[in-house]
Amino acid sequence: MNAPSPQEFQRQLTRRHFFSRCGMGLGGMALASMLDRSRAFGATPTLENPLAPKPPHFAPRAKNVIYLFMAGGPSQLDLFDYKPKLIDLNGQPIPASFLEGRRFAFMDTSHGTNLLGSRRKFTQHGKSGMWVSDLFPHTAKIVDDITLVKSCAATLFNHAPAKLFMNTGSGQYGRPSMGAWLNYGLGSEAQDLPGFVVLQSGPRGPRGGAVNWGSGFLPTTYQGVPFRGNGEPILNLTTPEGVSAARQRQTLDAIRDLNLSHAMETGDPEINTRIASYEMAARMQTSAPELIDLSKENADTMRLYGVEKDTPSFGRNCLLARRLIERGVRFVQLYHTNWDSHGGPGENLQGDFEKVCREVDQGQAALVQDLKQRGLLKDTLVVWGGEFGRTPMGENRDTTGRNHHIDAFTMWFAGGGTKAGYVLGETDELGFNPVADRAHIHDIHATLLHLVGLEHTKLTYRFQGRDFRLTDVHGELIKKMLA
């Protein structure tokens, strides 16, 4: 016997209710209303699917966000923030006025305070004439599509708390990440994938781990789901060994039917949510492998990103990010490690830094170009940046590297209603402090939310007696970034 269709099973249940289970004071009308509700529960998004799309506060400029997180803190001074004066003063002590009252990581050990000029070659690119160093030859080609913000500022200078701050607006554990906030505020258009997906590349996971994409005090429905670079893309996605696809379907059908029967018995709409979540899980079992299967991408695309079908890499994750937002995923976050450049083993500003630049350059440029030529860039905001930048002073370990710097660093944004070919903010001649248009992380958060149609002061969640926001009690919209 084939399992009955849901409708058929429901009809059988209805009959059963009418003929055998109506003796307990539930009249026919009440029962009918219960059944109606069970059928029509889709009308109540909070019960049926907490990720159902919700209207934004105002017309959005971007529908989706792809966030390229450069974990470890890339050196803006060797990539974007060109400082000839710093090169002139290479090796000189930094004027004391810059250091007064500042705190740095690794304060316990004596690191140099002499200035370190970049050894990289900087040239201007595109119509906008943006300065980019020779480490980012591909990225140099997309400068006319991006807003470069050179005056970013953070609050915390150790990796894990700073990453948390960049993601949640707070260095405290337990706050929701921006991807979770976005899904909480807007829901997701994706029918058969989670609304917030995390992809990782590089030698290790980002410091702090899962809290970076956690949902904090928001329901776990909104947390980021890490897709893995190879093998099974989602934990427990694959049907257990020895269970065929047909068997899995039979299992799912039986679970659905029995759950439905119990939903009728108890009248609890939560069971309907569970039925829906099993159906979504089943669709994910098909859609996630389809997502990571790149065999249908044409050769030009593969060349553009510089990737091979099954080799995990940042470039491959960039291509996957495009495929994810094409399928309606609201927020895709890519982590790439390791940008930490203190000068120690594996972290020097020479070969190691060149290597990590090479790892991301082609993929990130390809992503912007690919989104643009497919007409997706106008609806998709691409964000690039680390948890902080690096000091203008050198730090002496095995080699001379740079320490963490939170007062001025560079991020860039593409598409989604941001200006194209635009540089915001300027730093002093040593690159130590912003001298114009300081953009604190809270302001960047406020702007990011604005671009997707959310007013940052209105996107709140009550927890422990207080209304929490991504921007805490701060944040100003950076109007100059808007196209």
Q: Which of residues 148-207 bind other proteins (CB under 8 A)?
A: 158-161, 172-174, 194, 200, 204-207
Fill in the per-residue mask, 40 to 79: x = in contact with other proteins (CB under 8 A), - = not in contact.
----------x-----------------------------
Q: Applying CB under 8 A, which part among 82-90, 245-253, 294-302, 450-458 lies near other proteins? A: 245-253
How many angstroms separate the CA atoms of 178 and 196, rounded? Answer: 10
Q: How many CB atoms lie within 10 A of CB 195?
A: 28
Contact 375, 245 (CB under 8 A): no
Q: Applying CB under 8 A, which part among 144-152, 244-252, 300-308, 324-332 lies near other proteins? A: 244-252
CB nearer to other proteins: pick between 116 and 237: 237
7 binds other proteins (CB under 8 A): no
Closest separation in Å from C-beta 92 to other proteins? 24
Q: Applying CB under 8 A, which part among 52-60, 247-255, 304-312, 411-419 lies near other proteins? A: 247-255
Considering only CA atoms, which of 172, 219, 170, 162 is closest in space to residue 196? Answer: 219
Pairing of strands 426-427, 434-436: antiparallel
Closest separation in Å from C-beta 183 to other proteins? 12
98 binds other proteins (CB under 8 A): no
Q: Which stretches does DSSP call E strand in 337-399?
A: 380-385, 389-396
210 binds other proteins (CB under 8 A): yes
219 binds other proteins (CB under 8 A): yes
397 binds other proteins (CB under 8 A): yes
87 binds other proteins (CB under 8 A): no
254 binds other proteins (CB under 8 A): yes
CB nearer to other proteins: pick between 370 and 407: 407
Among 6, 56, 328, 344, the residue binding other proteins under the rule CB under 8 A is 344
**In sequence order, which ranges of 23-143 are alpha helices (DSSP H)?**
28-40, 45-48, 84-88
> In the window 444-483, what residues touch other proteins (CB under 8 A)?
464-466
258 binds other proteins (CB under 8 A): yes
CB nearer to other proteins: pick between 93 and 219: 219
Prior bond of 338 cis (ω within 30°): yes
How many angstroms separate the CA atoms of 253 and 235, rounded? Answer: 22
- For 109, 341, 345, the CA distances from 397, given in Å and listed in that order, are 10, 10, 9
Among 14, 57, 106, 294, the residue binding other proteins under the rule CB under 8 A is 106
Closest separation in Å from C-beta 396 to other proteins? 9
DSSP 205-267: PPTTGGGGG--TTS-GGGS-EEEPSSS-SSTT-SPPTT--HHHHHHHHHHHHHHHHHHHHHH-
Q: What are phi and psi of 122, to 5 degrees?
A: -105, 135
Closest separation in Å from C-beta 203 to other proteins? 10
CB nearer to other proteins: pick between 57 and 249: 249
28 binds other proteins (CB under 8 A): no
271 binds other proteins (CB under 8 A): yes
323 binds other proteins (CB under 8 A): no
| Secondary structure element (H or E) that encloses residue 367, with its range | helix 351-373
Closest separation in Å from C-beta 336 to other proteins? 14
Q: Applying CB under 8 A, which part among 145-153, 179-187, 276-284, 298-306 lies near other proteins? A: 276-284
The structure tokens 């009918």 sit at 32
How many angstroms separate the CA atoms of 137 and 315, rounded? Answer: 15
CB nearer to other proteins: pick between 98 and 217: 217
Closest separation in Å from C-beta 91 to other proteins? 20
33 binds other proteins (CB under 8 A): yes
Q: Give 19's contacts (C-beta < 8 A, 6+ positions apart).
A: none
Q: Give 400's contacts (C-beta < 8 A, 6+ positions apart).
A: 112, 116, 343, 349, 394
Spell out the long-range contacts of 8-17 with Cβ–Cβ below 8 A and sequence spacing 24 or more.
9/257, 9/260, 9/261, 10/35, 10/38, 10/39, 10/260, 10/264, 13/260, 13/261, 13/264, 14/264, 17/264
110 binds other proteins (CB under 8 A): no
